[in-house]
Structure 1
Amino acid sequence: MSTTTLTGSAGAPGAGAPDATAADVERAVAAAVEAGRRWAATPAPERRDVLRRAAHGLQARREELVGLVTAETGSIRAKAEAEVADSIEELHAAAALALHPTAQVLPSAVPGRSNVVERVPVGVVGVITGWNFPMHLALRIAAPALALGNAVLVKPAPETPLSGGAGWADALTAAGLPDGLLGVLPGRAAGPALVEHADVDLIHFTGSTAVGREIARIAGGALKRVALELGGNNPAVVLADADLERTVPLTAGGTFVHQGQVCIATGRHIVVADVAEDYLARLAEHARGLRVGDPAIDPTVDLGPLISERQAERAQRLVADTVAQGAELLTGGTREGRYFPATVVAGVRPGMPLFEEETFAPVAAVTVAADTDEAVALANATEYGLSASVFTRDLERGRAVASRLRAGMVHVNDMTALNETHVPFGGVGASGVGQRFGGAANVELLTEQRWVSVRRL
């Protein structure tokens, strides 16, 4: 048995698998529809066992997978190790999800009638992923979708065809996944083809808000279900009573993780004036201590390269344009090819590029607020609403401020860049549309409700 997967030999990042053609997509969808019917009828314990074996298979290849992630994404080893570990955990969690209750009995006003509301698989799930956490972005949807009886077609980002799917899909095949049930379709053309295909029942997309809007437009015309996990310009709100010695490593970590190329990275640091001077000094010192380099040559570096020259150019332009409008560059800001240092910019105000745009680079934009009320207003002054943080010694105060922030996820005294497999994940506004995923929320996302009534005559 084999998955419907187009694979090539490992090599240069972005060049490890051939692009899928329109004919490839058509064949993969047809195979997924047929395999999905049989898989949906497979007893849940059998689906669970396949996913458990797949998790063990990936664990046995852990070092190889870490290498794939590092090579294609430019991440430091610690990030790659964490991503592979999280991906394996997704399979374990999905195995447990296979036995989740999927029906309830509701009373009827008619004597002799029983009402059962059951959850049935959506059908064929198209998973379109980004390049920053390619393995995890794919498996966090593919694994629970398979557990709940769906077929899955993965379209990895062009930059990461191997770590995004082609490099690990065969582990699920070896675990006993039926032929055709999981397809990996690299290349740019496969995404639009999946969105437009009448037999793909749900599209889950992780990526930019601009592309998400286009997917929503096309899918809406076809009345196709979509779930969009999009960008963020996430704030960390630092109140006057925050413990800066403990706060700065967390806010810095939220900004500089994977070179800032994370949708839940901290882009904006909103700091109450009473502690702003001390905070800026500590943050700049922290940033200057982070080493930039090639993780393949020096595994001890703190930041690797950005995904492309274009991304590095954009980051430098955003910093320069913001400084030109009156902000102050405290450290960093100048690239060397794809390498961009940890950067801190002070005096950032609404209307400046670093305040308004998702940077997707290791840039901390610091805005000073007069008090807590202004800090909340500044944090909410964005079209995005993915993740936010609040830092304070007073936990009740932290919860109160958290309740005022417009975001799908809010963390008190922790990074914006948090994820736990069993916790629902998602944003509001320009950061997301559709059902959350993660834990029990996967049941809502990846199944449909069906009412079955039975009446004695």
Structure 2
Amino acid sequence: MAEQPSWSHAIHVDGGFRPPAAGGTIPVHDKFSGELLGAAGRAEAADVDAAAASALTAQRAWAALPYTERAEVLRRAAAALRDRAGLSELIMRETGGIAGKADYEIAAATGELTEAAALASRPVGEVLRTGHPGRFSVCERVPVGLVAAITPWNFPLVLAMRVIAPALALGNAVLLKPSPETPLSGGLVLGEVFAAAGAPPGVLQVLPGGEDVGRRLVEHPDVAMVHFTGSTAVGREIARTAGALLKKTSLELGGNNALVILDDADVTQAGMIGAWSSFHYQGQTCISAGRHIVDRAVADAYLSDLTARAAAVTVGDPLREGAGLGPIINDTQLARARRLLDEAVAGGAKVLTGGTNEGRYFRPTVVVDVPPDSELWTEEIFAPIAPVAVVDGDEQAVAVANATDYGLVSSVVGTDVHRATEVARRLDCAMVHVNDATPQDEPLAPFGGIGRSGLGGRSGGDANLEEFTERRWRTVAGGPAHYPY
């Protein structure tokens, strides 16, 4: 793949690409072959300060524009993203995902832009009743100001756009720090797209970098809001820092998600849902199923179906082999997956299929008899591993599903939809699906978690109004006021 010259050694500030102040770079490698794709600029704290100063001025002018002009920029960005040559292959190579995953990202990110364009015209205030004759009283929504978006590597394009599009639509400016694993498709591409769409310089700044950049964004006095998507451990640190500074914070964190299979489930349908929920994109999503909770009446049949599906998946480079799964993102993630599985097996768990890897290519794995106190059962996995527990009846299924501090998403599978829905209502999580996989996302749906899975609001649809604006009470007196002094 030809390197995009404007990206080389660059960050994106003031509407264009330029070298970072210290001149450092982040090498970007093909996750399949290991070959060098290019290099992004490595921003540092000084670059954050310069970008924030520029963004502060740009945001005020951007917010003052008629909503029609902001909406038009977003529509042009959607067209530029949709038509950008080579983007799907770039996402594949940079993330290690298959073509379907890359195409989903482009479609979902485009959807975020078109929905945000409509969001720009939504009413942003209400007239309030007042007990003061002659007073006009309103509650209006105003932009937060500068939004720092710190985004992950697993779905870099869409998870960045989920913040950028609505934040810009509502009059904010965004300082984006993409993951160092994916600074191109998750960062510099977006700078290019919005520049092509005619976004004013400074409303979107892209600052690839390490922990120092993230820390400076959180601490910067001009940053009014921090939106972080990533691990619970990092989210806690951001919450501590932002809380001390009294900053608005939205944290979309990890999950230990339950897939509940009831005794009347169609086993073939349940197996397909289970396989997709745990193996899709190597299990590297916060909404993957990390716990399969299966009624004993269908457990043998379910395990047989799920195991067969796992064994049939081709793992390799989809650009060369048409594979269904690619590599784990990096050696750190691979080592963690191996450790979680090996420790569970040492504690008595049994691997029914998979459990092996060639380099970072990890076979889809089904494992039973997992100790309930093992990290494979209690923590987010981020690998294509499906731990299965057998339960007796709906009551035990609900109890096991709720035995976690996470609260992101769950799914319930059963033929009796009313019964399955009633079970779903009892699950302690922010999102729940009946007769469908745990990985679900739509631009209009409120996405986020509770407990260890999130802190703050929700992204998507009307929730974005709450997320990226602040309420302001404004009154206008109809005549002179009278006070005792």
Q: Could you say whether these structures have the same fold, taking a TM-score greater than 0.5 normalized by the shorter chain as the test?
A: yes
Output the amino acid matched with 1:242: A
Match of 1:45 in 2: 68
* Matching residue within 50, 57, 68 for 1:27: 50
In the alignment, the residues of structure 1 paired with residue 383 and residue 88 of structure 2 have an alpha-carbon distance, to the nearest angstrom, of: 22
Output the amino acid matched with 2:78: A
Match of 1:254 in 2: 277
* 1:83 corresponds to 2:95: no
* 1:281 corresponds to 2:304: yes
Match of 1:129 in 2: 151
Match of 1:374 in 2: 396
* Matching residue within 13, 29, 34 for 1:12: 29
In the alignment, the residues of structure 2 paired with residue 199 and residue 9 of structure 1 have an alpha-carbon distance, to the nearest angstrom, of: 26
Shift of 1:32: 0.5
Matched residue SS, 1:168? helix
Aligned residue runs from structure 1 range 35-74, under 5 A: 35-61=58-84, 63-74=85-96
In the alignment, the residues of structure 1 paired with residue 107 and residue 221 of structure 2 have an alpha-carbon distance, to the nearest angstrom, of: 35
Matched residue SS, 1:365? strand
Match of 2:251 in 1: 228
Distance 1:6 1:202, change over 3 A: farther
Match of 1:410 in 2: 432
Kept after mapping to 2: 8 A contact 1:5/1:184: no
* 1:267 corresponds to 2:290: yes
Match of 1:393 in 2: 415
Output the amino acid matched with 1:84: I
Shift of 1:295: 2.3
Kept after mapping to 1: 8 A contact 2:347/2:371: no
Matched residue SS, 2:318? coil
Shift of 1:334: 1.4
Match of 1:3 in 2: 15
Identity, % of aligned positions: 52
Output the amino acid matched with 1:372: D
Aligned residue runs from structure 1 range 149-188, under 5 A: 149-188=171-210
Kept after mapping to 1: 8 A contact 2:26/2:180: no
Flag the structure with more relative contact order, 1 or 2, with Cα contacts below 8 A and sequence separation at least 6: 1
Output the amino acid matched with 1:269: H
Q: CA RMSD in A?
A: 1.5
In the alignment, the residues of structure 2 paired with residue 329 and residue 182 of structure 1 have an alpha-carbon distance, to the nearest angstrom, of: 47
Match of 1:107 in 2: 129
* 1:216 corresponds to 2:239: yes
Unpaired stretches in structure 2, ≥5 consecutive residues: 1-12, 20-24, 31-36, 480-485
Output the amino acid matched with 1:252: A
In the alignment, the residues of structure 2 paired with residue 115 and residue 5 of structure 1 have an alpha-carbon distance, to the nearest angstrom, of: 45
Match of 1:337 in 2: 359
Aligned residue runs from structure 1 range 291-440, under 5 A: 291-298=314-321, 300-440=322-462
Shift of 1:16: 2.6
Output the amino acid matched with 1:408: A
* Matching residue within 175, 192, 195 for 2:215: 192
Output the amino acid matched with 2:15: T
Q: TM-score, normalised by structure 2?
A: 0.92
In the alignment, the residues of structure 2 paired with residue 110 and residue 317 of structure 1 have an alpha-carbon distance, to the nearest angstrom, of: 67
User: Which runs of at least 4 in structure 1 moved beyond 4 Å after TM superposition?
Assistant: 4-11
Shift of 1:446: 0.1
Q: TM-score, normalised by structure 1?
A: 0.97
Match of 1:242 in 2: 265
Encode CA deviations 1:310-339: one digit per residue, 9 max, x unaligned.
211211221111111111100111111111
In the alignment, the residues of structure 2 paired with residue 58 and residue 209 of structure 1 have an alpha-carbon distance, to the nearest angstrom, of: 31
Matched residue SS, 1:16? strand
In the alignment, the residues of structure 1 paired with residue 44 and residue 400 of structure 2 have an alpha-carbon distance, to the nearest angstrom, of: 46
Matched residue SS, 2:218? helix
Shift of 1:10: 9.0
Distance 1:155 1:22, change over 3 A: same
Alignment size in residue pairs: 455
Kept after mapping to 2: 8 A contact 1:2/1:173: no
In the alignment, the residues of structure 1 paired with residue 17 and residue 199 of structure 2 have an alpha-carbon distance, to the nearest angstrom, of: 13
Kept after mapping to 2: 8 A contact 1:58/1:171: yes
Match of 1:456 in 2: 478
Output the amino acid matched with 1:145: A
In the alignment, the residues of structure 2 paired with residue 442 and residue 168 of structure 1 have an alpha-carbon distance, to the nearest angstrom, of: 20
Kept after mapping to 1: 8 A contact 2:268/2:302: no
Shift of 1:247: 1.3
